[in-house]
Structures are given as C-alpha cells and as structure tokens.
Structure 1
Amino acid sequence: MTQAKGQAFGIQLMAFGVILLPAMDAAAKVMGDSIAAATIVLARFGFQSLFLLPFVWRDLYLPRGQELRLHLWRALGICVSTFCFFAAIQVMPQVDALAIFFTMPLLVTLLAPWMLGETIGWRRLSAVAVGMIGALIIIQPGQSSFGLVTVLPLIAALGFAFYLLFTRQLARTSSTQQGVAVFTMQFYSGVFGSLMIVLAIVLMQPFQHPAFEITWPEPWQWRQLILVGVLASIGHVVVTKAFQYADASVLAGFQYLELLSAAVLGWWLFGDLPTLNTWMGSAILVGSGLYIFHREKQAH
C-alpha cells in the first residue's frame, strides 16, 4: 500500500470510528435511568472482552511487574472515564457531554510533564487556558440546568487523559518494546475494567447509590448492553488502527468529527439540539486542541 493510499485508508478508519463511538454512547443513553450506570459500564467492558477473545486467545499471556501495573492503571482510567460519561449522558444531551469531554487533550498536555517528563512552553499553556474558557462557556457554572452533572464529563476527560498517558508509558516498558497488539491491549482493558467495576459495585452496596444498583436487565436492555460492548470494541480498535496507517497530524482534525456525529445522533434519537454556548465552546476547544497538537509536532 502506497503512503497516499495508507493515509486515505487511515482517514476512512478514523471517520468510521468517530461514527461508531457516539453510536455506542447513544445505545447507552437509550436506556436512560432505567438501569444503573455501573451495569452499563460492566456490560461495556464484559462484552468487549468476550467479543475480542477469539482474536487474541492464541497470543494471550499474563502481564507481570511494571507492565501489569500499567495495564491496571489504564483500566482504572478508562473505567472511571466510562462510568462518569455514561452517568452524565443519562441526564444531559450527549453532544454537550462530549464537548466538555474534549478538554481531554488539554489535560493530557498539563499532565505530560509530571507523568512522562515532557516539557511544555508558554504557548501550549496559553492554549490550555483558552480551551478551558471554552469548556466554561459550555458548562455555564451557576446557570446550567444540569447542575453538578456537568462536572462528570470533566472527570471522564481526566480519567481518559490518564488512560492515554499510561498507554504511552506502557509502550515504553522494556517488555513491550515490540509493541502490544491492538486487540490484546483492548482485551486487557476490558478484562481489568470489568473486575474494577464489579469491585466498585460490591463496595458501594452499603451506600445504596442508584448508580450502582444491582438489577437483572430486561430483554430489550440486554440487546442494548450487548450493542454497547460490540460498538465499543469495534470503535476503539478501528480508531487505534487508523493511527497505524495515517500520521497523527493528518488524523488530528478528523477526531473532532465525533462532535458532529454526536450532534446528529442526539437530534435524531432524542431531539436534543446543541445550544449556541455548546457550539461556541466547542469551537474554542477544538481550536485549542489543534493548536496544542501543532505545537507538539513542532517540538518533536
């Protein structure tokens, strides 16, 4: 495959992935508050593991030492992120939650010096500050009808930022210098994520919080839960594979098509129309994120 064809194929994979991932969120949102958020998260990771098992079982091994610790930290990050995001979209429009979630590249920039030893200049720090202003425009502190729920996508973004940073650390460990297969990495995320959410459900039972309530799903909920797991598996694998075919600099802008996909699905399925604040804040966040990526590319 020529470089040009590889780049084009990578873009196609990214476009397909950013359609699937909001569809996964929509499949979870359809269930509303009829089922606990923790149950949806457990299904998301559990069915992801089952779906990927046939692709990885020949190459499975038990991670040890530093590699195991990084897999566990990755799983914790994605578990917290998924739970908070699913809990948020049970209450607020999907596109609003996703727009706030896109503070994630800004948080990665802020955390990278601490976790990876990278240095950032004043330009990227300024872009982070501008991006956070965009997030505040969407959240509307003190005025939003969703109250403290708007904080959940921010926590989800922080969890996913840690997930990405631990993924980078995992790639640097001596035992994974040859690279961990995409399917294998996603499989471990599903297995460890499932164990963590089960532990959280057990620990939260004395508090009787509705988000961790244990109920047996109805048949239509089983269908949605399976759909969430399958879409999560395909979506994350496709997006990861896209970066193997096309340069990150080419794909950076296409990642934000996820906002448009979420807006269309939210309007079609739930009648949610993004507000002017959402569009304005999203534009600022997207601009800040792309500028940060541009500066990172120049730095490297």
Structure 2
Amino acid sequence: MQKSITNQNQENIKGIIFMVSAVLILPFSDSIAKWLSSSYTTIQIAWLRFLIQAIILIILSFSLKYKITGFHKKFILVSIYISSSIVFLFWGLKYLPLANNIALFFIEPLVLTLLSVLILKEKLQKNHIIAVIIGLIGTLIIIRPNWSAYGMASIFPIVSAIFYALYLITLRQVSTKTNSKSLQFYIGVISTILLSVIIVVCELLNIDSFGFKQIDFNDWWLILLLGVITTIVQLLVSKAFFYSKASSLASFQYLEIISASILGWLIFKHIPDMLTIIGAIIVISSGLYLISHERKNSKT
C-alpha cells in the first residue's frame, strides 16, 4: 500500500515536471504568433500551426518507426476545444500586450480546477484551492482589469482559457486511449480540417479578416518554428496529463507569466511596471507552494 502511494506521488511529480516545462516554453510560440498577426489572419496562423504539427508527427512516426494508433471519436471533441482556444488566443495576441493577454488567459487554471471536480470527479484538496486563489490574485494584480483600456479584445483570451480548460479535461479522459504522439497527430489533422473549412467559407464570403493571405517567403522560418514549438508543448502537456490529475497541474500554468513577461520586454518593448512584478512574484509563489506540497507527499 505504501509502495503504491509512493509510485502515485512519483508519477504526479513527473506530470508536474512535464507541465512546468510546457508552460515555460509556450510564450515563445505566443510571441511568434503575435509577430505574425500583423501580417496574417489569426485563423491562418492557427491553421498553419496545426498543419505543421500533423506533418512533424507523421514524419517522426516514419523516422522513429512508431505506429500511429487507433482513432477515437473523442479526438474530434478535443480538436474542437484546442483549435477554438488557439484561434481566440492568437486573436487576443493581435491586440493585447503579450503578458496582459496571458494574464487574462490565467482564468483557465481556476476553470480547470472546478471542471476537474465537476466532470472528472477528482477530489479537490485544500492546497490546490489555496494555490489557485493565490495565483489568481497575482494575475489580477498584473492585469488590473480595465475595460476602457482593452475593450472587446479582453474577451478573447478569456474565451480561449475556457476552451483550453475543456481541452485539458477531455485530454485527461482520452490520454489513456493512445500514446501522446498519436493523439497530437490526430489533433493536428482534425484541427487543420476544421480550420480549412472556416477559411474556405470566409474566402467565399469575402471575409478578409478570417481568410488566407499570401505568405512572404521570409516568414516561413518563423511559421515552421511556431509549429515545432507548439508541437513540443502539446506533447509535454499530453505527458503531464497522463501522469497527473488536472487539479494537481492547474496552478503550475501560472508560471507561464515568467517567460511571457521577459519576451514581451525583449521583443515588443513592453516593460513590466512595479505592480506587474509584484503580481508575478505572487503567481510564482503559488506554483512554488504547490511544488513544495507535492514533494512532501512524495516522501511520505
């Protein structure tokens, strides 16, 4: 019994390591998407992102000689959630500073924690609630909600967050039905098909803001880099949810603010003010609190 508990805690730590790695890398792809959004539509950028993901994984399947395993109907639902989340996230990045967009997105761990209880029937521990609340307080300090400053654009990362929470919940349910590489391949293919339909319809209706613009040859390296980074991130997230419960991973997503703030400053000259720094410290503290708690559990 003691051995079983220890193994469970060790697997949880593995999930946390995968999740932390993913959220620290993710803002690099967000920065690229924000840069590209000045030249291309958000639907187009998202379409390219999922297309490249599917291509990368099918190439890996041949080169590494692993088999793409069976399809499951729930993969369609997962793809709808993640493609919707990515489109709204990129849409928000077009108008908002990188750190502010991600800070608004940080309603997602709270939504995820609540959904993990309602849908997955996971037991919510006191330390999870404390970590999520502390992280949310830090996020509110960072964003200082101001409708007059951001207007309707503020809704986009919030909608993205809700879809992403639904994606992670469903991902947890389907993660045992296939390996992570096969799952992300199917997500790439299905999302590409769904977004292709939207692009074609928008082109037929002459809706330029959701159509397809000619790609500059000099931008292809950025587009390829976007696809590679997001593929790596999604593989890490899939691994994280294979090993750990959704409620255990929720607060670690707040750590994304670290690299987001640094990249926003270096690339887009968005310099964080004192309140942003204070909020980031609170956010980081919430993640460190949960890491400490999980380590103590692994030793008992």
> What is the TM-score with the length of structure 2 in the denominator?
0.76
Q: How does 1:14-53 map to 2 (within 5 A)?
A: 17-53=22-58
Q: Residue 112 of structure 2 contacts residue 247 of structure 2 at CA under 8 Å; is this kept in 1?
A: no
Question: What is the match of residue 272 of structure 1?
Answer: 270
- Which of residues 60, 67, 71 is equivalent to 2:68? 60
2:196 alignment partner AA: V
**CA distance in structure 1 between the aligned counterparts of 2:145 and 2:191, rounded to whole angstroms:** 32
Question: What is the match of residue 195 of structure 1?
Answer: 193
Q: Residue 25 of structure 1 contacts residue 94 of structure 1 at CA under 8 Å; is this kept in 2?
A: yes
Q: Deviations over 1:50-82 (max 9, x none)?
A: 01112336522442xxx31x2111111111111
- Which of residues 233, 236, 241 is equivalent to 1:235? 233
Give 1:112 shift: 2.4
2:188 alignment partner AA: G
**Bigger mean CA deviation after superposition, 156-165 or 247-256:** 247-256
**CA distance in structure 2 between the aligned counterparts of 1:200 and 1:158, rounded to whole angstroms:** 21
Seen in structure 2, the aligned counterparts of structure 1 residues 142 and 234 have a Cα distance that, compared at 3 Å, is closer
2:68 alignment partner AA: L
Question: What is the match of residue 182 of structure 1?
Answer: 180
Q: What secondary structure is seen at the aligned counterpart in 1 of 2:58?
A: helix
**CA distance in structure 1 between the aligned counterparts of 2:116 and 2:24, rounded to whole angstroms:** 28
Asked whether 1:170 is paired with 2:174, we answer yes
Q: How does 1:114-193 map to 2 (within 5 A)?
A: 114-118=118-122, 120=124, 134-171=138-175, 176=177, 180-193=178-191
**CA distance in structure 1 between the aligned counterparts of 2:238 and 2:39, rounded to whole angstroms:** 32
Q: Please report the RMSD computed on the Cα atoms of aligned residues, expressed in angstroms.
A: 4.0
**CA distance in structure 2 between the aligned counterparts of 1:133 and 1:142, rounded to whole angstroms:** 15
Give 1:127 shift: 6.8
**CA distance in structure 2 between the aligned counterparts of 1:90 and 1:40, rounded to whole angstroms:** 11
Seen in structure 2, the aligned counterparts of structure 1 residues 39 and 187 have a Cα distance that, compared at 3 Å, is same
Seen in structure 2, the aligned counterparts of structure 1 residues 125 and 260 have a Cα distance that, compared at 3 Å, is closer
**CA distance in structure 2 between the aligned counterparts of 1:273 and 1:216, rounded to whole angstroms:** 33
Asked whether 1:222 is paired with 2:227, we answer no
2:40 alignment partner AA: I
Provide structure 2 residue ranges, at least 5 long, that are not aligned to the other structure.
1-6
Q: Residue 253 of structure 1 contacts residue 290 of structure 1 at CA under 8 Å; is this kept in 2?
A: no
Give 1:161 shift: 0.4
Q: Residue 100 of structure 1 contacts residue 138 of structure 1 at CA under 8 Å; is this kept in 2?
A: no
**Bigger mean CA deviation after superposition, 182-191 or 9-18:** 9-18
2:199 alignment partner AA: I
Number of paired residues?
284
Question: What is the match of residue 259 of structure 2?
Answer: 261
**CA distance in structure 2 between the aligned counterparts of 1:196 and 1:132, rounded to whole angstroms:** 33
Provide structure 1 residue ranges, at least 5 long, that are not aligned to the other structure.
none
2:50 alignment partner AA: F
